[in-house]
Amino acid sequence: MTNTVLFEKLIEGYNSKAYTHNYIYGFYFQNVVYMVETTAETMPYILKLDKASRGAGYALRFCPNKSQKTFLLTKGATVLCSKDFFEDAVKASKYNKGEMFEKMVTEYFGQVWEKDNIPFTEAGDIEVDGKPYQIKFEKATFTNEKILARV
């Protein structure tokens, strides 16, 4: 199986199991943290195929390069905060960048954030105006072959 076919199969497998197909992505661009809402249609353009850790095969990751970030900016990206503010918040907390981004997005929408481990097959990370979203920050893993084989 070629990497292109494997990439497409992982996206297809993820989408067939995902509770929601709405996403809020976060990324750095020119010392600013942006967030942008998209749907599953953008996945082939902004995700990449990568080796998963611990013998889990291949993984789908959100690791946007400069042109992918520029593409996301055209989708109506919103400034969340400065890169320095974000990184200081991560350092001052017990949370990683993905968790801190999820917290800041949740608070941006006027909601109270609580860390959870609810699977992507059962719920989104946040609901805004009745619409569930998965929240992902740079370097986030969506899934891997081992997880998809299990769900």
pTM of the full structure:
0.93
- Over the chain (151 residues), what is each successive 10-residue block's mean pLDDT? 87 95 98 97 96 88 97 97 98 96 97 92 95 96 89 80
Work out how many domains the chain is built from and give that number.
Answer: 1
Lateral strand order in the sheet of 140-144: 48-51, 58-62, 140-144
One DSSP character per residue, the chain reads --HHHHHHHHHHHHHHH-S--EEEEEEEETTEEEEEEEEGGGHHHH-EEEEPSTT--EEEEE---HHHHHHHHTTT-EEEEEHHHHHHHHHTSS--HHHHHHHHHHHHTT---------TTT--SEEETTEEEEEEETTEEEEEHHHHHH-
pLDDT value of position 34 = 98
pLDDT value of position 48 = 96
Q: What are the tokens at 37?
A: 């809402």
Q: What are the tokens at 151?
A: 């769900």
* Measured distance CA(131)–CA(111) in Å, rounded: 14
Range of the domain at 53: 3-150
pLDDT value of position 129 = 94
pLDDT value of position 2 = 79
CA-based nearest residue to 105, from 127, 130, 75: 127
Q: Label the pairing between strands 22-29 and 131-137.
A: parallel
